[in-house]
Amino acid sequence: MSKERITAGPGFNRWLIPPAALAVHLSIGQAYAFSVFNEPLTRVIGINEPAQGDWGIPALGWIFSIAIVFLGLSAAVFGKWVEDVGPRKTMFTAACCWGAGFIVSAIGVWTHQLWLLYFGYGVLGGIGLGLGYISPVGTLIRWFPDRRGMATGMAIMGFGGGALIGSPLGVSLMGLFETDSSVGVAPTFITMGGLYFISMCLGAFVVRVPAEGWKPEGWEPPPESEQSAMITRNDVHVRDAHKTPQFWLLWVILCFNVTAGIGVLGQASVMIQETFGGAITAAAAAGFVGLLSLFNMVGRFFWASTSDYIGRKMTYFIFFGLGTALYALVPLFGSGLNSVFFFVLAFGIILSMYGGGFATIPAYLADIFGTRYVGAIHGRLLTAWAAAGVLGPVLVNYIREFQLNAGVASADAYNVTMFIMAGLLVIGFIANFLVKPVDPKFHMSESGEEEREEASSTSASSSSSKPAEA
Amino acid sequence: MSEQTQRSEEPSSSSKVLVILFWGYVSLPLAWGVYETSKGVVALFTG
């Protein structure tokens, strides 16, 4: 399971790596669909309706929040370990944490101990989320030096797609296990935990790392004179990355891009109903949320792949430039023109760029900091996600409340928020503009390179004695 | 690095089959999820 023993032998097909990464990301992406369990969990005792002693929604809401916090923490703390031990051990550890999180949560439901759900899904599951999220990133970038954006975009698309599977799967299983004496959540947790564990282990079993110096057939890195100055041929050590202004500029870029999307995603159903009054039913609003999820997922692949051709910096200029314009126009499309079509289209594009921001950032990091520690640096950058997870919903929800309390009509309650979001994207645009190549003093020294070569020679000798089969 | 550069060799036919199988394994559940979500999206346009 060690990194040295999973170096790919000759003839290994690199197109096995994206589905291996997808097997992990589609599993952990279920996190975005956890809300389907909230309502049934409020009637574990009462079965048909909440009874005395049943859990309330606010207490249950903490399960998802704890999981996201531990996602960010584990990605930041274990990023270096992920680079050291390789993707297989990390994916397997993620599978154990994610699967065990469901099992412990099931025990929590059976015994009606809420802390077991906090610990199970929140802490254990959150660590599984963080490890699983970053585990394939560095590996994909090394297998696809010619298409870094597309490769990581495919994997991170899986995280968006995981909710599309997890939501109907959870609902179907609860329907299957529901009885007169049970809401069916615990056996659903057991089943999903088992399925996800097996799926993630399959990904871990298939994944391989390329041999040192491996290149795709027929591909040569462009000559230095022709290559963009924004793509480095050097590596920055993870311990030095946060000392560079580039790391913090990219942190701001990710944070504000995510803030703008995550607040809307959480409030989309209520927002479209309030903006268009009685014209949008609850079922239609749920359809709007589903459509945004599709745009979010497709945008991850589309924008990350596009960035391979137009460059990462240009891609983020589009996110921030077009995003600013669309946020500023939303009040016009909504309460101004009363156009559901343009309102939905604007948010669809915005959410595609929200997903695109997640999916393109690993390739941007590899361009700026090199590929050696990209997984670990990506892990630390994900703290921006945790910050945005608080900032986005707070901005949308609290400003709405403030507007309504001030007597603003509900159809106009989001207008100020939209302009603030546009303002955040302007700051993101400026941060992106300021991203320049890293100062050479941060590049890994010769001794660092020697250390790397020493590790790779160990890897090569190990792989030559035990070549991995495709 | 250049001295030790390895080139990708032509993947074996068995590995191509494995690629197709594994892509199918991840694509089918995703397609089902997209289909289930799309059924809800229809409500947005039909009211």
SS (H, E, C) A178-231: CECCECCHHHHHHHHHHHHHHHHHHHHHHCCECCCCEECCCCCCCCCCCCCCCC
| CA–CA distance, A328 with A320 (Å, rounded to integer) | 12
Quick check: A264 and A343 in contact, CB under 8 A? no
The model's confidence at residue A448, banded by pLDDT at 50, 70 and 90, is low
Contact present, A16 and B15 (Cβ < 8 Å): yes
CA-based R_g, chain B, Å:
20
Question: How crowded is the C-beta side of A273, counted as CA atoms within 13 Å?
Answer: 12
The gap between the terminal CA atoms of chain B, to the nearest Å, is: 61
CB contact under 8 A, A287 and B45: yes
Q: Which of A200-214, A239-253, A384-398, A452-466 has the lowest mean pLDDT?
A: A452-466
pLDDT of residue A451: 52
pTM of the model: 0.86
Nearest CA in chain A to B5: A213
Chain A CB within 8 Å of residue B28 CB: no
Question: Which chain A residues have a beta carbon less than 8 Å from that of B34?
Answer: 161, 164, 294
Nearest-neighbour CA in chain B from A192: distance (Å): 13
Is residue A455 assigned to a domain? no
Q: How many domains does chain A have?
A: 2
Tens digits of residue pLDDT in A278-297? 788 888 888 898 899 899 99
Residue contact B34–A294, C-beta within 8 A = yes
Of A168, A216, A217, which is closest to B33 when you measure between CB atoms? A168
- Residue A366: half-sphere exposure toward Cβ, Cα within 13 Å: 27
Cα A378 to Cα A127, A302, A358, A364: the distances in Å are: 15, 20, 10, 10
Paired residues of A443 in beta bridges: A236
Out of A76-80, A262-266, A329-333, least confident range? A262-266
Residue A287 has its nearest CB partner, among B5, B15, B43, at: B43
Map residue B11 onto helix, strand or coil: coil
Tens of pLDDT, residue by residue over A394-434, are 888 788 888 888 888 888 888 888 899 999 999 999 999 99
Return the percentage of chain A with pLDDT > 70, whole number: 94
User: A297 lies in a domain?
Assistant: yes
Looking at the fold, whether A431 and A308 belong to one and the same domain comes out as yes
- A316 belongs to a structural domain: yes
Q: Is residue A357 part of a domain?
A: yes
A137 with A259, same domain: the answer is no
Q: How confident is the model at residue A457 (pLDDT cuts 50, 70, 90)?
A: very low
Dump pLDDT digits (tens) for A122-138.
Answer: 999 999 999 999 999 88
On whether both A201 and A321 belong to a single domain, the answer is no
Would you say the C-alpha torsion A300, A302, A305, A310 has a positive or negative sign?
A: negative
Around Cβ A417, how many Cβ atoms within 10 Å? 24
| Residue A81 pLDDT > 70 | yes
Residue B42 has pLDDT above 50, yes or no: yes
Structural tokens at position A468: 């991995």
Structural domain includes residue A449: no
**CATH number, position A280:** 1.20.1250.20
Domain that holds residue A59: 3-215
A414 and A319 within one domain:
yes
Q: Give pLDDT, residue B2.
A: 38
The answer to the question of residue A319 being in a domain is: yes
DSSP symbol at B6? E
Do A21 and A138 reside in the same domain of the chain? yes
3-state secondary structure of A8: strand
- Looking at the structure, do residues A165 and A296 belong to the same domain, yes or no? no
> Given this model, what pLDDT does residue A449 score?
53
**Three state DSSP letters for A276-303:** CHHHCCHHHHHHHHHHHHHHHHHHHHHH
Residue A266 has pLDDT above 90, yes or no: no
Chain B nearest-CA residue for A280: B47
Tell me, what's the pLDDT at A136?
Answer: 92
How much is the mean pLDDT over chain A? 89
Estimate to the nearest angstrom the gap between the alpha carbon of A442 and the chain centroid: 28
Q: Which residues, 6 or more positions from A270, have their beta carbon under 8 angstroms from its beta carbon?
A: A285
Inter-chain touch B12–A16, beta carbons under 8 Å: no
Average of per-residue pLDDT across A195-217: 93
The reply to whether residue B44 touches residue A19, judged by beta carbons under 8 angstroms, is: no
Residue A312 maps to a domain? yes
Banded pLDDT at A235 (limits 50, 70, 90): very high
Are A198 and A319 in a shared domain?
A: no
- Closest C-alpha to A209, from A155, A159, A142: A142
Hey, is the C-beta of B21 within 8 angstroms of any chain A C-beta?
no
Determine contact: B4 vs chain A, CB below 8 A.
Answer: yes
What is the mean predicted confidence (pLDDT) over A255-268? 84
- A209 lies in the same domain as A278: no
User: Same structural domain for residues A188 and A66?
Assistant: yes
Question: Nearest residue on chain B to A293, judged by CA atoms?
Answer: B37
Nearest to B44 among A10, A19, A287 (CB): A287
* Chain B residues within 8 A of A167 when measuring between CB atoms: 33, 36-37
| A280 and A188 in a common domain | no
Q: Partners of A209 in the beta sheet?
A: A7
Distance from CA of A429 to the nearest CA of B (A): 32
Backbone angles phi, psi at A326, to 5 degrees: -70, -40
Q: Which residue's structure tokens are 């630390």?
A: A380
Q: Which of A166, A181, A215 is the C-terminal boundary of a domain?
A: A215
Lowest mean pLDDT among A188-192, A236-240, A318-322, B43-47: B43-47
Q: Would the CB atoms of B15 and A283 count as touching at under 8 Å? A: no
For the beta carbon of residue B20, count every other beta carbon within 10 angstroms: 12
Helix (H, G, I), strand (E, B) or coil at A215: strand
Same-domain pairing of A403 and A360: yes
Find the residue in A nearest to B23 (Cα): A19
Give the residue-averaged pLDDT of A25-41. 91
Nearest by CB: B33 against A164, A212, A291 = A164
Judge whether A124 lies within some domain.
yes
Instruction: Tell me: do A191 and A271 sit in the same domain.
Output: no
